[in-house]
Amino acid sequence: MRSPVNDPRVSSPYGMRVLNGKEQFHDGIDFVSRSGDRRVFAVAPGVVVFDMDDYEEALRWTDRRHSGGNMIIIAHDVGPAPGARVYYARYLHLGENTVRKNQEIDEGEVVGEYADAGISFGPHLHFDLYDSAWRKIDPTPLLRGVLPS
Ligand SMILES: [Zn+2]
């Protein structure tokens, strides 16, 4: 996988964190670009399975504490073919997305721009990952090598 933003900085990693004095589990990785480039890139080839431009509709797909605003889901093929594995990636807090459901995506293709959208503390991309059975997984190992140390 490639990084979903240029010149990435991780503003919040996967795992337990304290927010407003309360411990909570952060189920993805929050990214910002050090260069201020808000474009969001597909981490791998795939196909868009969900695109959301409507905030009210998005509330139904995200929990209230981590409302994602505008979001997309891409089914990514990762790993050597044949037998490439499918992962579902959610890209949240997009101000706009530039792709549509069923669209095929190349690795590195621009899919939108991150923003201060949904429940958010400043513009950032929330990226999280599910396996082929829609079980949430830690994306960190799959992004090893592209995450800043
Ligand atoms: Zn997040």
The C-alpha atoms of residue 129 and residue 135 are separated, in whole angstroms, by 8
144 in any annotated domain: no
The C-alpha atoms of residue 32 and residue 5 are separated, in whole angstroms, by 7
120 in any annotated domain: yes
For β-strands 22-26 and 85-97, DSSP reports them as unpaired
The C-alpha atoms of residue 111 and residue 114 are separated, in whole angstroms, by 10
Count up the domains in the chain and report the number.
1
146 in any annotated domain: no
CA of 126 to the centre of ligand 1 (A): 4
Are 74 and 48 contacting, i.e. CB atoms less than 8 angstroms apart? yes
Task: Give the pLDDT score at 66.
Answer: 45
CA of 27 to the centre of ligand 1 (A): 7
pLDDT tens-digit map of 86-137? 899 999 988 877 898 899 999 999 999 998 766 667 889 999 999 988 999 9
CA of 29 to the centre of ligand 1 (A): 6
In order of 29, 38, 57, 110, the CA distances from 26 in angstroms are: 8, 22, 22, 25
Report, as an integer, the average pLDDT of 142-149.
85
CA of 30 to the centre of ligand 1 (A): 5
CA of 82 to the centre of ligand 1 (A): 33
CA of 37 to the centre of ligand 1 (A): 18
Tokens of 88: 């579902």
Report, as an integer, the average pLDDT of 57-72.
60
CB atoms within 10 A of CB 79: 13
CATH number of the domain to which 53 belongs: 2.70.70.10
Query: Which domain does 119 fall in, by range?
Result: 8-131
145 in any annotated domain: no
19 in any annotated domain: yes
CA of 127 to the centre of ligand 1 (A): 7
Residues with CB under 5 A from ligand 1 (ion): 28, 30, 126
Report, as an integer, the average pLDDT of 26-39.
95
48 in any annotated domain: yes
The C-alpha atoms of residue 64 and residue 91 are separated, in whole angstroms, by 17
pLDDT tens-digit map of 80-91? 666 678 899 999
Report, as an integer, the average pLDDT of 6-12.
94
The C-alpha atoms of residue 102 and residue 74 are separated, in whole angstroms, by 9
Instruction: Give me the percent of the chain exceeding a pLDDT of 70.
Output: 82
67 in any annotated domain: yes
Are 72 and 58 contacting, i.e. CB atoms less than 8 angstroms apart? no
CA of 107 to the centre of ligand 1 (A): 22
1 in any annotated domain: no
